[in-house]
């Protein structure tokens, strides 16, 4: 049975509009029901995507419904569900008894619109459609990053993200105009056809336009040297928004990158992969080196996110190997589970201690064993320890890099993994080998949060033993 996938995005948009109307007429101050209704709707969408994702058919020249798009749509919906659930425990949105603060309904509605935008984005097969959907997502993130605008740190993060995001948009539009000027097309399939007939003299202009687009995409995925916004924005933004930026936004960015490489490979493969290889090596090196010195956990995870973008870029730069897109996609799926698990722990600890410094995690093993175990598993998986999802993520990336003879990247990647062991295991040491602060009480975890933590832990272990569970979706 062939299905029209655009119905799912349309349903999510309608869900968001309905929640806005419901929130506006609701007299009760408690807005928790907004998050639960949104979560329920997205769970239904995720089930349909899981069951019928392979039966989608393209409905327009600018809309792709291949298996890559279906996989990333599912990842984005799952990430949105987990972020909405994480928001229910975020102290800036909820009170001590988990009642939603006045005016917080929009905080649960905006990620739903971002989800729809990213689902369109991963299906974009036209440069104009790509630009429109990317801006839809970016504008929503501008608002989410600045949500707690009375906090000076949050306001600083929002201004930096807005200004630098506007610059990246300018690069994207200018790059699209150059590509259109050379090829006369914006559709990916038509561009690919035109490239085979272009004279060699057109290559410099085409490469210039593609380079501008890659700068814009590099900003979205936090690749070096376009990563300078990441630490401040990740630290200043609300923690659920930071988690969402780290996972869903990065996933959408890498789909764009994979599609662009596929389109322009016939004429510019060597130059594109050469540029991506340099970016990958620099990103892995910088991200891991900068993470070594961090004491704030959100900033550490920010630099860690840059390092993981580097590992993903290693996979993209090895795209000449047929398995490379699957390696990148598996890594992205594993990264979703382990990063969101870490941010769940950060939200719960910061709620009780009022801070996100590494010292706030002292003695967590005694104060909350479940949170500590969850954090341990997240850190071990991010480091790439065997029997975790992160191990197979890195294993597949290194495998395709070796097959593509990317020896320099293999060496830098190995160095990055060694650095990762230090700063990830340092967090574990703080939780178990440093004493609790004087007067520190135990950290209470609600039943639903405990259930989510257990599910994420089991998912990481299962994917670390049976990676085919995720690969089967590709």
In tens, the pLDDT along 76-110 reads 999 999 999 888 877 555 544 444 455 577 888 89
pLDDT value for 211: 87
How high is the pLDDT of residue 97?
43
Look up residue 357 and give its DSSP letter: B
Of 114-123, 180-189, 263-272, the one with minimum mean pLDDT is 263-272
Average pLDDT over residues 32-44: 86
pLDDT of residue 98: 44
Note whether 63 and 10 are within 8 A (CB): no
pLDDT of 387 strictly over 70: yes
The separation between the first and the last C-alpha atoms of the chain, rounded to the nearest angstrom, is 19
pLDDT at 2 over 60: no
Contact by Cβ (8 Å): 176, 131: yes
pLDDT at 30 over 70: no
Residues 241 and 54: their CA atoms lie apart, in Å, by: 30
Cβ-contact 253, 168 below 8 angstroms: no
Burial 215-247 (b: 16+ CB within 10 A, else e): bbbbbbbbbbebbebbbbbbbbbbbbbbbbbbb
Q: Which distant-in-sequence residues (6+ apart) come within 8 Å of 441 by Cβ?
A: 352, 367
Instruction: Render pLDDT for 271-294 as a digit per residue (tens, 0 to 9).
Output: 888 888 899 999 999 999 998 888
pLDDT in tens, 425-446: 888 888 888 777 666 667 778 8
pLDDT (average), residues 329-350: 91
Q: Which of 51-55, 64-68, 164-168, 393-397 has the lowest mean pLDDT?
A: 51-55
- CA 13 vs CA 71, 310, 367: distances in Å: 20, 33, 41
In which band, very low, low, confident or very high, does the pLDDT at 474 lie, cut at 50, 70 and 90?
confident
Q: Where are the domains of the chain?
A: 6-471
State yes or no: pLDDT of 28 exceeds 70.
no
371 three-state secondary structure = helix
**For residue 120, how many C-alpha atoms fall within 13 Å in the half-sphere facing its CB?**
26
Average pLDDT in the 48-59 region?
Answer: 74
Residue whose C-alpha is closest to residue 188's, from 64, 278, 46 = 64
Q: What is the pLDDT of residue 103?
A: 56
Q: Average pLDDT of the chain?
A: 85
Q: Is 322's pLDDT higher than 70? A: yes
- Tokens representing 173 are 């539009």
174 Cβ contact list (under 8 Å, min separation 6): 209, 212
Tell me the pTM: 0.91
pLDDT tens-digit map of 103-162 = 577 888 899 999 999 999 888 888 899 999 988 888 988 888 888 777 778 888 888 888
Question: CB within 8 A of 186, min separation 6: which ones?
Answer: 126, 127, 128, 176, 179, 180
Percent of the chain past pLDDT 70, that is, above it, reads 92
Position 260 pLDDT exceeds 60: yes
The structure tokens listed for 311 are: 């590992």
Q: Is the pLDDT of residue 209 over 60?
A: yes
CA pair distance 265, 268, nearest whole angstrom: 5
Question: Is pLDDT of 381 > 50?
Answer: yes
3-state secondary structure of 227: coil
What is the phi-psi region of residue 222: left when phi exceeds 0, alpha when psi lies from -120 to 50, beta otherwise? left
Structure confidence at residue 96 (pLDDT): 43
Average pLDDT over residues 317-346: 91
Q: What pLDDT shows up at residue 53?
A: 67
């Amino acid at each position: 049975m062939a299905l029209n996938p655009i119905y799912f995005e349309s349903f999510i948009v309608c869900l968001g509009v309905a929640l806005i109307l419901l929130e506006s007429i609701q007299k009760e101050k408690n807005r928790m029901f907004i998050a639960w209704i949104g979560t329920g709707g997205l769970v239904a969408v995720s089930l349909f995507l899981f069951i019928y994702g392979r039966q989608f058919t393209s409905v327009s020249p600018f809309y792709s419904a291949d298996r890559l798009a279906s996989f990333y749509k599912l990842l984005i919906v799952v990430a949105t569900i987990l972020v909405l659930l994480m928001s229910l425990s975020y102290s800036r949105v909820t009170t001590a008894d988990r009642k939603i603060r006045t005016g917080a309904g929009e905080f649960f509605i905006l990620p739903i619109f971002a989800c729809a935008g990213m689902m369109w984005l991963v299906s974009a097969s036209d440069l104009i459609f790509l630009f429109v959907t990317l801006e839809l997502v970016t504008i929503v993130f501008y608002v989410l990053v600045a949500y707690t605008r009375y906090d000076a740190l949050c306001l600083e993060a929002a201004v930096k993200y807005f200004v630098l995001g506007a610059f990246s948009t300018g690069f994207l539009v200018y790059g699209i105009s150059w590509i259109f000027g050379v090829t006369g097309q914006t559709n990916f399939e038509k561009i690919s056809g035109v490239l085979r007939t272009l004279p060699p003299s057109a290559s410099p202009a085409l490469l210039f336009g593609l380079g501008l687009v890659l700068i814009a995409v590099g900003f979205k995925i936090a690749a070096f040297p376009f990563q300078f916004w990441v630490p401040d924005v990740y630290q200043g933004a609300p923690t659920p928004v930071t988690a969402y930026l780290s996972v869903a936004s990065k996933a959408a960015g890498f789909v764009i990158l994979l599609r662009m490489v596929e389109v322009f490979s016939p004429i510019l493969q060597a130059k594109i992969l050469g540029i991506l290889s340099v970016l990958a090596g620099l990103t892995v090196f910088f991200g891991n080196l900068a993470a070594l010195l961090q004491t704030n956990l959100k900033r550490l995870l920010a630099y860690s996110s840059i390092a993981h973008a580097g590992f993903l870029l290693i996979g993209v730069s090895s795209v000449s190997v047929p398995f490379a897109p699957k390696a990148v996609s598996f890594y992205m799926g594993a990264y979703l589970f382990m990063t969101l698990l870490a941010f769940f722990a950060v939200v719960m600890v910061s709620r009780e201690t009022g801070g996100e410094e590494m010292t706030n995690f002292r003695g967590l093993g005694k104060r909350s064993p479940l949170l500590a175990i969850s954090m341990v598993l997240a850190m071990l998986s991010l480091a790439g320890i065997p029997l975790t999802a992160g191990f197979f993520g890195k294993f597949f990336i290194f495998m395709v890099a070796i097959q593509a003879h990317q020896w320099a990247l293999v060496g830098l990647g190995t160095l990055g993994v060694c650095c990762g062991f230090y700063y990830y295991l340092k967090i574990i040491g703080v939780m178990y080998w440093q004493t609790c602060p004087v007067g520190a009480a135990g950290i209470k975890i609600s039943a639903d949060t405990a259930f989510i933590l257990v599910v994420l832990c089991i998912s990481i272990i299962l994917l670390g033993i049976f990676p085919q569970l995720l690969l089967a979706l590709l």
